[in-house]
Structure 1
Amino acid sequence: MTQKQFPPINLDQAKALTTRWRTYYADLLRAYKNWNNKEQIDINVTPNDKDVFRGFTIPLHDLKKIVEAAENHNNKKKNKDNQIDAVRGYLAMDKPIDKDTPGLVHILLLPVAKRIDITHVSQDDENGTETQESAIYDFSAPCPDVCDTSSPLYSEPL
């Protein structure tokens, strides 16, 4: 089966997609912040608010590590029928910080072979002994904390 290809998209498409996401997330955040059984409160959250989650900064070094783990896995003869051919991302979240602040959003990346998550990969230690190592990478540098606030994808001009 051929892996679906995802070519780059143009800036206008990217702006439309990120604007749609910010609007959706702002609606969720507004509902979260306004939910209270004891009192009626109304907190307005807009798509350009600083609390609206926008994306992740993933260091190139970390991307290289996941590619290296996949290549090491694929180079082992025992894995010839179970080649890693993709990476999957899962959104995750810490426990809420307090009643008004949701937890930090994470993106967890892990290798995929034939549409199946690979949670562990084999590594050889210095003695040549094979050990199992987690293949789940936690990239927890979310926007807006680590972001280019001048990016046209960050917010709509006011």
Structure 2
Amino acid sequence: MEINPSKNEVSCNEAITWTHRWQKENYQRNSAGELIHARAFLIPVDDLLNCLLEMEVLVSEGENIYKLEKSNIREKIRAYMATDRPEETQPSAQTEKLLVVGTNPKIIDDKIVYKDIFDCGGCSCDDKVKTKVLAEQANSDVYDFTKPCPSDCDFSSELNS
């Protein structure tokens, strides 16, 4: 199946301008001299594939054989910035996370709203044990793309200023 080029494609010049702007505006360092914010994330393909499988954009047809489900090709995923560190620990790029979830389109008030495929039974973030148990039982996943730059960087990339 042929896939149409994305309308969201960005030119090289725009990509360079946007990434340099973000990096310039988010260059702060902690007292140890480490960048506080990640510049990029290295995304494992298997996590992305699992997200697409959960959304039924890809359909497994056996071991390492997948079919692209044409009816779902325009679906979307959502990425959340997150931090995994105790409150008393200094912020650093190595503690930043990029969490990705699949979404399902729903019509709400005559608008398409992409709802996260994330169901842990209405649990509260304050109840970590309940959250963990329910999330493990739930029929949804959140994918943790935890290879931040720095240290997993392409220092020769024009996008990495």
**TM-score, with structure 2 as normaliser:** 0.60
Cα distance change of structure 1 residues 14 and 72 upon mapping to structure 2, 3 Å threshold: closer
Pairing partner for 2:38 from 53, 56, 65: 53
Indicate the SS of the match to 1:149: coil
Measured in 1, the distance between the counterparts of 2:154 and 2:86 equals 25
How far apart are 1:133 and its partner, in Å?
A: 3.4
Cα distance change of structure 1 residues 66 and 99 upon mapping to structure 2, 3 Å threshold: closer
Report what 1:38 is aligned to. Answer: none
Structure with more contact order per residue of length (Cα contacts < 8 Å, sep ≥ 6) = 2
Cα distance change of structure 1 residues 25 and 72 upon mapping to structure 2, 3 Å threshold: closer
Report what 1:62 is aligned to. Answer: 47
Residues paired across the two proteins, number: 118
How far apart are 1:62 and its partner, in Å?
A: 1.6
Report what 1:112 is aligned to. Answer: 103
For structure 1, the 5+ residue unaligned runs are 35-42, 75-82, 122-130
The percent identity for this pair of structures is: 28
Higher gyration radius (CA): 1
Q: Aligned Cα RMSD in Å?
A: 3.4
How far apart are 1:116 and its partner, in Å?
A: 1.1
Indicate the SS of the match to 2:80: strand
Report what 2:67 is aligned to. Answer: none
Report what 1:88 is aligned to. Answer: 78
Deviation by residue 1:44-65 (Cα, 9 ceiling, x = unmatched): x8xxx86652111102222111
Measured in 1, the distance between the counterparts of 2:116 and 2:98 equals 15
Report what 1:25 is aligned to. Answer: 26
Q: What amino acid maps onto 2:153 in structure 1?
A: C
Measured in 2, the distance between the counterparts of 1:107 and 1:19 equals 19
Cα distance change of structure 1 residues 72 and 9 upon mapping to structure 2, 3 Å threshold: closer
For structure 2, the 5+ residue unaligned runs are 1-5, 60-71, 106-113, 121-136
How far apart are 1:91 and its partner, in Å?
A: 0.2
How far apart are 1:86 and its partner, in Å?
A: 1.4
**Residue 134 (str. 1) matches residue 140 (str. 2):** yes
Moved over 3 A (4+): 49-52, 96-103, 131-134
How far apart are 1:101 and its partner, in Å?
A: 4.4
Deviation by residue 1:83-134 (Cα, 9 ceiling, x = unmatched): 892110000012269665436110010011121111149xxxxxxxxx6333
